[in-house]
Amino acid sequence: MIRIIDGAKEMEKIEKILSRSQMDSKEVLQRVDEILEEVKQNGDEALLKFTQMYDKNGLTELKVTHEEIAKAKANIDENLKNAIINAIGNITNFHKKQIKEGFTINEGSDIMLGQMVMPIEKVGIYVPGGTASYPSTVMMNAIPANLAGVKEIIMTTPADRDGRIKDSVLVAADLLGVTQIYKVGGAQAIGALCYGTESITKVDKIVGPGNIFVAMAKHKVSGLVGIDMIAGPSEVVVIADKKANPRFIAADLIAQAEHDKRAASIVVTDCNILAKKIQEQISIQLKTLKRSEIAEEALSEYGAIILCANKDECFDIANSLAPEHLEILTDNPFEDYKKIKNAGAIFLGEYTPEPVGDYYAGPNHTLPTSRTARFSSALSVDDFYKKTSLLYYSKEALKKSANDIMLLADNEGLTGHANSIKVRMEEM
Amino acid sequence: MIRIIDGAKEMEKIEKILSRSQMDSKEVLQRVDEILEEVKQNGDEALLKFTQMYDKNGLTELKVTHEEIAKAKANIDENLKNAIINAIGNITNFHKKQIKEGFTINEGSDIMLGQMVMPIEKVGIYVPGGTASYPSTVMMNAIPANLAGVKEIIMTTPADRDGRIKDSVLVAADLLGVTQIYKVGGAQAIGALCYGTESITKVDKIVGPGNIFVAMAKHKVSGLVGIDMIAGPSEVVVIADKKANPRFIAADLIAQAEHDKRAASIVVTDCNILAKKIQEQISIQLKTLKRSEIAEEALSEYGAIILCANKDECFDIANSLAPEHLEILTDNPFEDYKKIKNAGAIFLGEYTPEPVGDYYAGPNHTLPTSRTARFSSALSVDDFYKKTSLLYYSKEALKKSANDIMLLADNEGLTGHANSIKVRMEEM
């Protein structure tokens, strides 16, 4: 069962809970190194070998065909398809506001400066397989990539034992114009996207969540290719006052906890009675759910109800935790959210539970975990751009600035830098 | 001497030159681990110990005093000070264009979504010491941090054998309102900024260049704190046609090469005669410069003049190299730059040598190296923000979307997610 603890006394313990990492296995790291190296050397042959070894689906051809996509479109439940289309609309509307344009300063004069904004050329999206194979992963990654103008989006995802990919995943990919889809997962998929193989084009950036093999492989290849953040286990912090509904809060804590045995569900409240009621509600609701075992373990290992002396302390603690998801279930969430300095996403009021954001409302669900919201942000259109500075000085402009630049260069001990100005002055 | 090579045949070799890394020493990594651990455990005591060990300046107090700053301000050459002030003006003007505001959608209605843009609370700036102690490092990091609204900027830089920091570095820091300055360098400085000590406040993000110890320490603590990119050795690619001035090009190649024995200076041209003239000019100019030994080694190890069949091939090769700095010395740079897809910064025409950007013009000099311009960008104001998503659904709005959200949750096998919507529907 979820613990009730004293906020003032146990902050360090709580920060440790949120700082938990999954990146500490040497054996996994070594295996990942081997897989990456073999994919780099042997290309498709290695991909087929590891796919057989791990996914056991006997595939000899990894590319998803037009026929498979057509079948998925024919098979999918009409209501589910509409839900996907509505979600795509909402997510697109939100991310459109993140579209960025370049700028220039002083165009046409002696000095022109600027910043060009260009899409990354090729992007790989990793979509996990098995129970965690989500159409929302496709949407949350492909939509911002599309809006940035990325021309080639290559998706990889492991197929099931029958060699199939979920209809909803294929339909979402098709609706979003994903260029190519390959049935390959794990570190081998990351290797293929980074190094390229005979059949899979190498990309400039890899995004998308995955298990520890995928996370470590992304970490390993980062620098050769760009990567998005490497997410830790998911987490929610709920700030609740005495009027908050314990039934809703319990449901939201469980929703978070069912993701993963290491997910963290935390309440911060100044109301002791509410704390007890939340515990009761969790017991009642857990009984009815598919993944209750996972949720129960997560709640007792990484869950906590933190009791605070007053409302201000609740917000101080939430800011220090810098959670991925923050729900504000107080009297006046529209005022209270202004006190938040560190959070990935904030959910306001009792009718905005986190799943509204996971699938549907519009903002991205790829969010900074493990207290990194202190310095990082949700995935956005910006993650699919690169920006290039532009500089132009005319002869006249250089002449005017030459002394300043040479003084600075000499002060820094770089006479070759000063020389590059000097040779130009001498030819004037 | 710099080689002339055939572009079409030797692309792989050239890409390898640019992909060179400095991060491969196991001994350095182990030493960095030890230093970080000791700073984490022993705080200031460890800082003083390592400062004595590496900087050998006998310091017992690391904080820079008001008196020291006052002395630097009194001592600095008036012209140098004015050059710094002019550079600060230019850099501020450019980076102002990067200031970002949040947004909200549908404010006041049933659904409100938004993105808050907030400054990172505390930032650490590392400024290298010794010959590479540059006021421009202070400017290029502190200015975007200030414009983002960062409240606390903590700077660390190693002092010289006499326990002093360069006047120009202190004056730049003072002009830019850096909150605190500490005389500590290396991995120990990164440890102090990450973990905090009795005297140094821990920060949320660390930026700034450094030697291999600093780079590895930043890599090690990244995740606990944010970091900027870890830069490889610097590089320039010059695209030149037959009309380009070989004297200018030689000067620019040398300016790049004097940074570091591993710096890369590369020309891409379709003119064989120009290539030969550049070689001649390098020999002549090298004789007159302080750091000619470093430059000479860099030019012969990592320099190249790549001969192409025609102008289009020049641009293809430049795009594939994705250089940190790209100079376009062609007939029509204002048309030609539009062919560039991958570069950190582009310098247009013969009077915009790279040093104009290193110190002075305005765009940031912290740029993506080692071909990472394919997916990453110059340091900018954006690196000092974090963005937080805002979501609000009213009771009515949730009711309308409930079925879609529950369908998606069930499709993803997350019944606890569906349950968090269901309990709310049941209480309506």
Residue linked to tokens 């995943």: A169
Q: How far apart are CA A248 and CA A259, in angstroms?
A: 18
> Which residues are CB-contacts of A97 (< 8 A; sequence separation ≥ 6)?
B103, B105, B115
Of B68, B325, B350, B365, which one is the catalytic site residue?
A: B325
Residue linked to tokens 């310095």: A375
Type of residue found at B292: S
Q: Name B392's bridge partners.
A: A348, B112
- What residues in A contact B352, CB-CB < 8 Å? 391-393, 398
- What residues in B contact A413, CB-CB < 8 Å? 131, 290-291
Task: Give the relative orientation of helices B292-302 and B272-286 as an angle to the nearest 10 degrees.
Answer: 150
Q: How far apart are CA B387 and CA B115, in angstroms?
A: 6
| Direct distance between the N- and C-terminal alpha carbons of chain B, in angstroms, rounded to an integer | 80
Of A133, A204, A374, which has the smallest distance from its Cβ to B375's Cβ? A204
- What residues in B contact A374, CB-CB < 8 Å? 120-121, 204, 226, 386
Long-range contact set of residues B61-64: C-beta below 8 Å, sequence gap at least 24 = B62/B182, B62/B183, B62/B184, B62/B199, B62/B200, B63/B180, B63/B181, B63/B182, B63/B183, B63/B199, B64/B165, B64/B170, B64/B180, B64/B181, B64/B182, B64/B183
- What residues in A contact B298, CB-CB < 8 Å? none
Is B358 part of the contact surface with chain A (CB cutoff 8 Å)?
yes
Is A211 part of the contact surface with chain B (CB cutoff 8 Å)?
no
Q: How far apart are CA B152 and CA B168, in angstroms?
A: 21
Pick the residue from chain B with its C-alpha nearest to A110.
B351
Pairing state of beta strands B180-182 and B205-207? Answer: unpaired
> Which residues are CB-contacts of A53 (< 8 A; sequence separation ≥ 6)?
none
Is A336 part of the contact surface with chain B (CB cutoff 8 Å)?
no
Type of residue found at A135: P
User: For residue A21, what pLDDT is reported?
Assistant: 59
Type of residue found at A75: N
- The closest alpha carbon to B342, from A343, A385, A404, belongs to A385
Q: How far apart are CA A377 and CA A231, in angstroms?
A: 12
Q: How far apart are CA A168 and CA A81, in angstroms?
A: 8
CA A396 to chain centre: 48
Q: Please tell me the distance in Å from B211's CA to the nearest CA on chain A.
A: 16
Determine which of A405, A421, A425 to mutate to test the interface with B (most B C-beta atoms within 10 Å): A405
Of A245, A288, A375, which has the smallest distance from its Cβ to B226's Cβ? A375
The 3-state DSSP class for residue A72 equals helix
User: For residue B6, what pLDDT is reported?
Assistant: 86
- What residues in A contact B84, CB-CB < 8 Å? 408
What's the maximum distance between 2 C-alpha atoms anywhere in chain B?
Answer: 85
Q: Please tell me the distance in Å from B327's CA to the nearest CA on chain A.
A: 10
H or E element: which one contains A104?
A: strand A103-105
Is B195 part of the contact surface with chain A (CB cutoff 8 Å)?
no
User: Do A355 and B404 make contact, defined as CB atoms within 8 angstroms?
Assistant: no
Sheet holding B3-6, edge to edge: A103-105, A111-119, A385-393, B345-348, B325-329, B235-240, B264-269, B304-307, B3-6
Helices assigned H by DSSP within A196-291: 212-221, 246-257, 272-286
Is B295 part of the contact surface with chain A (CB cutoff 8 Å)?
yes
Of A132, A407, A414, which has the smallest distance from its Cβ to B83's Cβ? A407
Pick the residue from chain A with its C-alpha nearest to B373.
A386
Is A149 part of the contact surface with chain B (CB cutoff 8 Å)?
no
Positions of chain A with pLDDT under 70: 19-24, 132
> Which residues are CB-contacts of A234 (< 8 A; sequence separation ≥ 6)?
A256, A259, A260, A263, A264, A324, A325, A369
Pick the residue from chain A with its C-alpha nearest to B398.
A351
- Sequential pLDDT tens for chain B (428 residues): 899 988 877 777 777 777 665 556 788 889 999 999 999 999 999 999 999 999 999 999 999 999 999 999 999 999 999 999 999 999 999 999 999 999 999 877 899 999 999 999 999 999 998 776 789 999 999 999 999 999 999 999 999 999 999 999 999 999 999 989 999 999 999 999 999 999 999 999 999 999 889 999 999 999 899 999 888 889 999 999 999 999 999 999 999 999 888 899 999 999 999 999 999 999 999 988 888 899 999 999 999 999 999 999 999 999 999 999 999 999 999 999 999 999 999 999 999 999 999 989 999 999 999 999 999 999 999 999 999 999 999 999 999 999 999 999 988 888 888 999 999 999 88
Sheet holding A205-207, edge to edge: A180-182, A152-156, A122-126, A205-207, A226-227
Of A389, A408, A416, which has the smallest distance from its Cβ to B254's Cβ? A416
Is B384 part of the contact surface with chain A (CB cutoff 8 Å)?
no
Selected residues 74-113 of chain B with any CB under 8 Å from a CB in chain A: 77, 79-80, 82-84, 86-87, 93-94, 97-98, 103, 105, 111-113
Of A82, A98, A113, which has the smallest distance from its Cβ to B94's Cβ? A113
User: Do B258 and A390 make contact, defined as CB atoms within 8 angstroms?
Assistant: no
User: Do B389 and A345 make contact, defined as CB atoms within 8 angstroms?
Assistant: yes
Q: Please tell me the distance in Å from B160's CA to the nearest CA on chain A.
A: 15
- Name the phi and psi angles at B234, rounded to 5: -75, 160
Q: Please tell me the distance in Å from A107's CA to the nearest CA on chain B.
A: 11
Q: Which domains does chain B have, with CATH numbers?
A: 3-21+232-362 (3.40.50.1980), 26-227 (3.40.50.1980), 394-426 (no CATH)
User: Do B389 and A80 make contact, defined as CB atoms within 8 angstroms?
Assistant: no
Total Cβ atoms within 10 A of residue B202: 15
Residue linked to tokens 């990654």: A141
Pick the residue from chain B with its C-alpha nearest to A231.
B223
Contact B98, B381 (CB under 8 A): yes
Q: How far apart are CA B112 and CA A94, in angstroms?
A: 11
ipTM at complex level:
0.95
Pick the residue from chain B with its C-alpha nearest to A419.
B251
Contact B134, B169 (CB under 8 A): yes
The model's pLDDT over A182-202, given as tens digits with 9 standing for 90+, comes to: 999 999 999 999 999 999 999
Q: Which residues of A are documented as binding site for substrate?
A: 234, 256, 259, 325, 358, 412, 417
Element counts in chain A: helices (H) and strands (E): 17, 14
- The closest alpha carbon to A11, from A340, A369, A321, belongs to A321
Residue A422 structure tokens: 């000097």
Q: Which residues of A are documented as binding site?
A: 126, 188, 211, 234, 256, 259, 325, 358, 412, 417
Contact B327, B239 (CB under 8 A): yes
User: For residue B242, what pLDDT is reported?
Assistant: 96
Is B252 part of the contact surface with chain A (CB cutoff 8 Å)?
yes
Burial of B44 (0-12, 13-18, 19+ CB in 10 A): middle
Q: How far apart are CA A208 and CA A139, in angstroms?
A: 11
- What residues in A contact B257, CB-CB < 8 Å? 416
Of B324, B327, B350, B354, which one is the catalytic site residue?
A: B324
Q: Name B5's bridge partners.
A: B306
The 3-state DSSP class for residue B346 equals strand
How crowded is the C-beta side of A7, counted as CA atoms within 13 Å?
A: 25
Pick the residue from chain B with its C-alpha nearest to A296.
B416
- What residues in A contact B216, CB-CB < 8 Å? none
Total Cβ atoms within 10 A of residue A334: 13
Q: How far apart are CA B395 and CA B157, in angstroms?
A: 55
Contact A374, B204 (CB under 8 A): yes
How many CB pairs (< 8 A) connect A and B? 379
Pick the residue from chain B with its C-alpha nearest to A129.
B412
- Name the phi and psi angles at A191, rounded to 5: -60, -45
Selected residues 18-47 of chain B with any CB under 8 Å from a CB in chain A: 19, 21
Among all residues of A, which ones are annotated catalytic?
324-325
Is B196 part of the contact surface with chain A (CB cutoff 8 Å)?
no
